[in-house]
Amino acid sequence: METRTPTAHAATARSSASVDRPTVSFELFPPRNPAAAPKLWETVRALEQARPDFVSVTYGASGKTRETSRAMVRRLLRETTLNPIAHLTCVGTSKDEITQIVGEFLDEGVRSFLALRGDPPLDQPDWQPHPDGVDTAGGLVELLREIESQRCTASPSQAVRARVRPLSIAVAAFPRGNAATGGTRAQDVASLLAKQEAGADFAITQVFYEAEAYLGLVAEAREAGVVIPIIPGIIPTTDPARLSRVAELTGVPVPRDLLDLLGSADDELEQHRRGTRAGVDLINGVLDGGAPGVHLYTFNKHHAALDLLEGAQLTGASRGTDDTAHATTTPEG
């Protein structure tokens, strides 16, 4: 797979500070154990140098990382220049619990959420939704808007702050349908339209490996009346083991030719280079097709993500000579 060279016009637009440059964002997750925290914050500082538009912070199934997610978002707000988007799930949670959780995030200064339904527990075959809960991501979007409205009604000060920094709500989209629920693309487009009508501001897609998957989703969504921006979610394709694991979790298969390309590399360095070229091709494909930007799933590592941005000429700031040399010659650790 050879990296396509963007046109001179496209390259200039992507590397400039123009308001028309594509957005860049990253996904991070709270460290699973305290020993991983220092490495995570090294990654945060490295990603910060790319001047992303935002970073999203995951929120474990059924809110199992509630406290660590809050702590991470709080630190991002207080110690970095990054704009965090807090993931929020609703499956198995009452409206009162969600209201409390949202209030905690809002009190910390969070003004952006990624509203997700979440997956039911795999180890509970007889699991039932909470009787006073929210069953869909669209319902969660509506609840978020209600919570914000109530806070503004109760406090004129909050109403002013809300006008200065309006609440922003993102939702998920699935280029090939939501494999977790057995849904088709057509069903996801209908769900995306419902989320838009509930008050969603933009969408971020699940992983995919061909530009056509994303472009097809967007075309079908636009025909159905979806007008909110849809940001492609992209995974660095440098680690075949990770790709296989993501396929298990999401149900999105990895193309055989990509796995063969990586598997036939002579060493990790060549594997990293091949994976980066494939990822740059994918980014170029979606941007050339009109994508508003890219959202990179980092897995709390920065080298592969930053190499992708560099290859696609999306870096928001020049990286130091030493860092650039290291990132372009060292596979992900």
Comparing C-alpha atoms, which of 76, 24, 41, 77 is closest to residue 300? 41
Note the helical H segments in 16-92: 37-48, 66-79
> Beta-carbon neighbour count of residue 51 at 10 Å?
13
Q: Is the per-residue pLDDT at 125 higher than 90?
A: no
- Please compute the mean of the pLDDT values over residues 310-315 and round it to a whole number: 93
Which pLDDT does position 331 carry in this prediction?
Answer: 44
Known catalytic residues?
27
Token output for 264: 């036939």
Going from the C-alpha of 51 to that of each of 15, 25, 55, 180, the distances in angstroms are 12, 9, 10, 33
Which pLDDT does position 34 carry in this prediction?
Answer: 84
Alpha carbon distance 152, 21 (integer Å): 34
* Enclosing H/E stretch for 66: helix 66-79
Each residue's pLDDT tens digit, 231-261 = 999 999 999 999 999 999 899 999 999 999 9
**Structure-token match 């050879």, residue found:** 2
* Enclosing H/E stretch for 26: strand 23-28
Alpha carbon distance 15, 28 (integer Å): 24
Residue 146 three-state SS: helix
Going from the C-alpha of 11 to that of each of 17, 230, 284, 312, the distances in angstroms are 12, 22, 10, 8
Alpha carbon distance 135, 115 (integer Å): 12
Q: Cβ(175)–Cβ(235) under 8 Å?
A: no
* Enclosing H/E stretch for 268: helix 268-288
> What radius of gyration, in Å, describes the C-alpha atoms of the chain?
20
Q: Which residues of 61-98 are buried (b: 16+ CB within 10 A; e: fewer)?
A: bbbebbebbbebbbebeeeeebbbbbbbbbbbbebebb
Each residue's pLDDT tens digit, 2-61 = 344 444 334 444 544 566 889 999 999 998 888 889 999 999 999 999 999 999 999 865
Q: Is 253 left (phi over 0), alpha (psi -120 to 50) or beta?
A: beta
- CATH fold of 8-320, please? TIM Barrel (3.20.20)
Which pLDDT does position 128 carry in this prediction?
Answer: 72
- Please compute the mean of the pLDDT values over residues 97-107 and round it to a whole number: 94
**Of the listed ranges 146-155, 209-218, 262-271, 313-322, the one predicted with least confidence:** 313-322
| Cα distance between the two ends of the chain | 23
Share of the chain above pLDDT 90, in %: 73
pTM over 0.75: yes
Which pLDDT does position 7 carry in this prediction?
Answer: 43
Token output for 194: 């419902």
Each residue's pLDDT tens digit, 289-301 = 999 999 999 999 9
Using CB atoms within 10 Å of the CB of residue 122, give its burial: 0 to 12 exposed, 13 to 18 middle, 19+ buried: exposed
Comparing C-alpha atoms, which of 157, 154, 141 is closest to residue 98? 141
Note the helical H segments in 129-255: 137-154, 156-164, 185-198, 211-224, 240-250
Q: Cβ(196)–Cβ(226) under 8 Å?
A: yes
> Beta-carbon neighbour count of residue 274 at 10 Å?
19
- Please compute the mean of the pLDDT values over residues 161-189 and round it to a whole number: 91
18: phi then psi, degrees, rounded to nearest 5: -60, 150
Tell me the one-letter amino acid at 51. R
Question: Which DSSP letter does residue 4 get?
Answer: P
Residue 127 pLDDT class (50, 70, 90 cuts): low
Q: How many helices (H) and strands (E) does the chain have?
A: 13, 9
Q: Cβ(258)–Cβ(238) under 8 Å?
A: no
